[in-house]
Every structure is written in C-alpha cells, then in structure tokens.
Amino acid sequence: MHFFALTATLLLPLASQAIDIISSNDDGWAEVNIRSLYSALTAAGHSVVISAPAENESGTGSSTRTPTVLTEACEFDSCPVGSPAYGYNASQPRFNYVNSYPATSIQYGIQNLSTKFFDGVPDLAVTGPNVGNNLALTVLFSGTVGAAVSAVESGIPAIAFSGDTGSQTAWNVSPTPLYSQVYAELATTLTDHLIASGAPPYLPPDIWLNVNFPAVSNDSCNSADQFSFVLSRIYTAVPLISGADVETCGSTRLPTETAVVDTAGCYVAVSVGNTDKRDGNATQQAVVLDKLSDLLVCLP
C-alpha cells in the first residue's frame, strides 16, 4: 500500500490511500468498460492491473480451465490468432489477458501478476463493470460475479460492478460511451468510500459486494453526481425462512437490488453477497452499512 503525496491528497479529498487493485470481468479484457474503470481508478491514484479473459466469457459463472493458445483472434481483434495462453499489451503491460474463464483469469492476476506489479497480493479485487445488470438469479451464472467470488475465496475483498446500459464494445471506440464513463466514475466513488472507511481488510471475510447501476441515458441519469447508492439484498426474502436484514431506513428488510435499480430516479443497488452467491447475513450487512454510511441513502 502506498500513501498519496501531499499534492494528490489536496486534489482528491476522499481517497486517503492509494491501494493495489486487481481487475477482471467476463466481457473480456478489451471491452471498453473494464478499460474505463482502469482509467478512473488509476486517475484516483490506485495501482491497477487488469487480468481478464481474452474473449467474451459471459455467463460462465465460477468455471475454471487451464488457459490455452488462441485458436482465433482475441475479441475485437485485440490479439492475433495463435497468441499465447497468457498475454499483455506490449505498450501497457498492466493490460493482461488470459485465454480462459473469468475465475481463472483473476486467479492468474492474484497469484502471478501480483508479484510483478504489487508488493504482495492485491488489497482489493474489482470486476466489471459488466455489460448488463447482474440481479437476483443471474448472479449465479455471471462470470463477473464468479471472478469476484474467486477473489474472495483467496482472501481478497471484492466488488462486482454491473451496468444496465450498453452492449459489448471495443476498448478503442471513440468517443468512450457516456454510460461507460459514468459507470467507471460511480464504481470509483464506491471503491474510494470503502477504502476510506477503515484499515484493510475492506470487507468482512467471505463477503463481496454486488453493485448494479441503473440505466444511463442522454436525457436522464447522465452524470455520476445524479446517482445515489442504496443498500439492497440480492434475492427476494422468503417469509419465515430468510433471517432479518440489518435494520436501516426504518426496516429490517432491505429492498431487493431489482427494486432499487427499477425505482424512478438514479439509484445504485449495493448488495452484500457471500461465497455461496447468496445474501450475506444481518451482521455482515451491518459492517457494510457502517462502512458506507456516508454514501448510502434510503429509497423514496
């Protein structure tokens, strides 16, 4: 972990510390959203390394497989056919691909790239922003979630980000789509609040955050400062079976993340997940509520 120089601290009132962050996704290393997030987190002072699939691996959950030589080009022609199983951008070695699934890709980042770029294992893992929301049952199939859970299982706190707007788009599209910039900025805001909330580890053990951004359009929800963050749960609670949620906003039942992103306005859903890809319990939610208390609001 490195601490900001004085000048950077003055420019960035919130980010008190620069940390080492491993980044992955399931849409692939050359998808614009992961590159936008890299730029935003790096601009906020963090040391970020991308270790993500060479191809679109959407929907591959927690699958793992030994990486193989590319039998076709990487997505968007971002590497030629015949490229090695692991590769990187020669002019930006922090952009790494792994020709495998998201969970395998992030493990390569944690186990191998960390020794090259970081002073030990990463402080935090971020995945996405996924193209399309990962709400409720889709959490079980998402590779973006699978990579986050894989990081947590290796002891690295993790946040999975997903956004409603957009389709899979190459990294070098110009200009960068508005939604991609807004989602990167929102993800950086949440990440910096979590970092500022106390010393590592930034989350309780075996816990990750499932963060879903609602739609961005040219007419509404078109800049990060219009959004608010709401603590939510992944699944609809089952009466008499689901335990109580943490008490907040006058209730011991959190809104579902689907309800949050569907509420009129610009509300980001922040759910607390466990390694079974189920909702974390009230104790675990309480830690997150406390850490993000200055960021979270109640739904209207």
Q: Are 130 and 144 in contact (CB under 8 A)?
A: yes
Residue 171 or 183: the one with the smaller Cβ distance to ligand NAG is 171
> What angle separates helix 32-43 from helix 178-196, to the nearest 10 degrees?
40
DSSP per residue, 198-255: SSSPSS-TTEEEEEEE----SSSS-SGGG-EEEEEBSSPPPTTTSPPPPPBTTBSSPP
Q: Which of 16, 68, 172, 293 binds ligand NAG (CB under 6 A)?
A: 172
Q: Are 25 and 101 in contact (CB under 8 A)?
A: no
CB of 178 to ligand NAG, least distance (A): 6
Residue 92 or 293: the one with the smaller Cβ distance to ligand NAG is 92
- 174 makes contact with ligand NAG (CB under 6 A): no
Residue 17 or 89: the one with the smaller Cβ distance to ligand NAG is 89
- Within positions 221 to 280, which residues make up the interface with ligand NAG, using CB under 6 A? none
- Within positions 68 to 97, which residues make up the interface with ligand NAG, using CB under 6 A? 78, 86, 89, 91-92, 95
- Number of residues forming the site for ligand NAG (CB under 6 A): 21
- 99 makes contact with ligand NAG (CB under 6 A): no
Q: Which of 112, 220, 226, 251 binds ligand NAG (CB under 6 A)?
A: 112
Residue 114 CA, chain-centre distance (Å), reads: 18
CB of 95 to ligand NAG, least distance (A): 5
Q: Which of 101, 171, 183, 213 binds ligand NAG (CB under 6 A)?
A: 171
Measured CA to CA, the distance from residue 24 to residue 54 in angstroms comes to 11
Binding mask 10-39 for ligand NAG (x = CB under 6 A): --------------------x---------
* The length of the chain, given as a count of residues: 300
Q: How far apart are the first and last CA of the chain?
A: 39
Q: Which of 218, 239, 241, 300 binds ligand NAG (CB under 6 A)?
A: 218
Residue 15 or 207: the one with the smaller Cβ distance to ligand NAG is 207
The vertex-19 CA angle with 266 and 270, nearest 5°, equals: 25
Q: Are 180 and 191 in contact (CB under 8 A)?
A: no
Nearest to 293 by CA among 241, 230, 207, 213: 230
- 138 makes contact with ligand NAG (CB under 6 A): no
Q: Which of 168, 228, 263, 275 binds ligand NAG (CB under 6 A)?
A: 168
Q: Are 218 and 182 in contact (CB under 8 A)?
A: no
Measured CA to CA, the distance from residue 125 to residue 20 in angstroms comes to 9
Q: Which of 24, 36, 47, 58 binds ligand NAG (CB under 6 A)?
A: 58
Binding site for ligand NAG (CB under 6 A): 30, 56, 58-59, 78, 86, 89, 91-92, 95, 111-112, 168, 171-172, 217-218, 281-284
